[in-house]
Amino acid sequence: MTPGIEVPLASYQLIQNSQPIACYICGNDNTYSAEHCRCCYAPMALAHQARVTGIQPRTIALVGASAAGKTVYLGMLMDMLSRRMQPLHVLTRGAFSISMQQTTTTALSHGWFPDKTPNEPDRWNWVHCQISSNKKRRPLDLIVPDMAGEAILEEINHPNTFPVVRSMLSKCCGVILLIDAIRLQSGDQTQDFSTMKLLSFLGDLERDRSIGGRLWRTTNQIPIAIVFTKADECESCFNDPVAFAESHALGMLRQCRDRFPRHAIFACSVAGACGYRESLGDGRRRIPLRIEPRGIVEPLTWMVEQVSRR
C-alpha cells in the first residue's frame, strides 16, 4: 500500500516568477530565475542589482585581440584598486565580481599567467564595481566584462555569432583597447589589423539609445583609451607611447585621430620580467618571473575623468 503524503502546491512561486526581467546588457526579457541572459549570456545578476539598488551602472568595454593581455590587466587593475583608499579606489558589487580578481591574482601568485578566457560568454568573468575618487564626485558604478579576444573578432568578422559583444559595444560609454606591444614591435601586423577592424566596427555601430547612447550622442564622441600591454619588454613604448604608435601602428593611430578625437594612448605592464617553464600536459609555458605593475591605473583614471565629465 502506498502511504498518502501531502505536497504543498507553492503556487506563490509561480506568481513571483511570472514577471519577466530585462537583461541589463541587451534588454531582452528573461525569466526571473535565469542565471544568464538567454540571448547574450550576460549574468542576470546585473539586472537584479540594477533593480534592487535603482542605480543604472555604466559599461566600459575592455577589448583587444586574443592574448593582448586583457585578463591579466583587468585582474591586476581590480586588485590594485580594491586594496587602496585613494586617489581612485573600487568597491566590488556582487560576489561574482570578485572571481576575476581572484583567478588572476591566484595564478600570478603561483607563478603562472591566468588561462586564456574561454570563448563561451556564460563562462566570462564580469566585474561590477563602484569607483570613487578623492575629487568629491559621486561614485561611479561601472560594469566591465572580461571578454575573449577570439569571440570579439569572430563577432566582427561574422555578425551575430557572439551577440553579447555587439550589445556591449553599442551600450558602452567608453572603450579600453589593449594592444600587444611585443608583437607590434616584432613587426607582427595582425595586432594593427585587428585593432583597425575593432575601431571601424565601433565607428559603424548604431549607438544604443540607453545609457551609452544618451551620454555620447555620436559614436565619435566615445572616449577610447589605447593601451600598449607588455611594455616591460619594450622600454621605448613606456618612454613615449605616442611615438611608439606612430612607428608601429600608424594605421590604428590614423583611424583614431580621424574618427575618435577623444582618445589617449598609454603603456602598461604587469610582469617585470618573464621566463618559460615546462609543465606536464601543457608543454612550455610563459611565466612571470616577478610582478611589477606599471601604468595600470592611469588608463582607468583618464576614462573615469572622461565619463564623469558629461
Ligand X SMILES: Nc1nc2c(ncn2[C@@H]2O[C@H](COP(=O)(O)OP(=O)(O)OP(=O)(O)O)[C@@H](O)[C@H]2O)c(=O)[nH]1
- Residues of this chain that bind ligand X (CB under 6 A): 64, 66-72, 113-114, 116-117, 148-149, 229-230, 232-233, 269-271, 274, 286
Q: How far is the CB of 144 from Zn ion (least distance, A)?
A: 16
What is the Cα–Cα distance from 176 to 204, expressed in whole angstroms?
Answer: 17
List the one residue from 22, 34, 39, 274 that touches Zn ion (CB under 5 A).
39
26 binds, among Mg ion, ligand X, Zn ion, none (CB under 5 to 8 A by kind): Zn ion
Q: How far is the CB of 146 from Mg ion (least distance, A)?
A: 6
Count of other CB atoms within 10 angstroms of residue 155: 21
The secondary element (H helix, E strand) that includes residue 284 is strand 283-294
List the one residue from 26, 182, 237, 296 that touches Zn ion (CB under 5 A).
26
Q: How far is the CB of 229 from ligand X (least distance, A)?
A: 6
277 binds, among ligand X, Zn ion, Mg ion, none (CB under 5 to 8 A by kind): none
Q: Does 143 bind Zn ion (CB under 5 A)?
A: no
Q: Grid coordinates in use for 218?
A: 555620436
Nearer to Mg ion, 47 or 62 (CB): 62
Nearer to ligand X, 50 or 175 (CB): 175
62 binds, among Zn ion, Mg ion, ligand X, none (CB under 5 to 8 A by kind): none
What is the Cα–Cα distance from 231 to 212, expressed in whole angstroms?
Answer: 31
Binding mask 68-107 for Mg ion (x = CB under 5 A): --xx------------------------------------
CB 65 within 8 A of CB 191: yes
CB 244 within 8 A of CB 236: yes
Stretch that binds Mg ion, among 8-16, 67-75, 158-166, 174-182 (CB under 5 A): 67-75
Nearer to Zn ion, 42 or 67 (CB): 42
What is the Cα–Cα distance from 26 to 21, expressed in whole angstroms?
Answer: 12
* Long-range CB contacts for residues 204-209, cutoff 8 Å, separation at least 24: 205/166, 205/169, 205/170, 206/170, 207/170, 208/167, 208/170, 208/171
Q: What share of the chain is helix, strand, coil (3-state, %, to 5)?
A: 40, 25, 35
64 binds, among Zn ion, ligand X, Mg ion, none (CB under 5 to 8 A by kind): ligand X
DSSP-derived 3-state class of residue 114: coil
Question: Which residues would be at the binding site for Mg ion (CB under 5 A)?
Answer: 70-71, 117
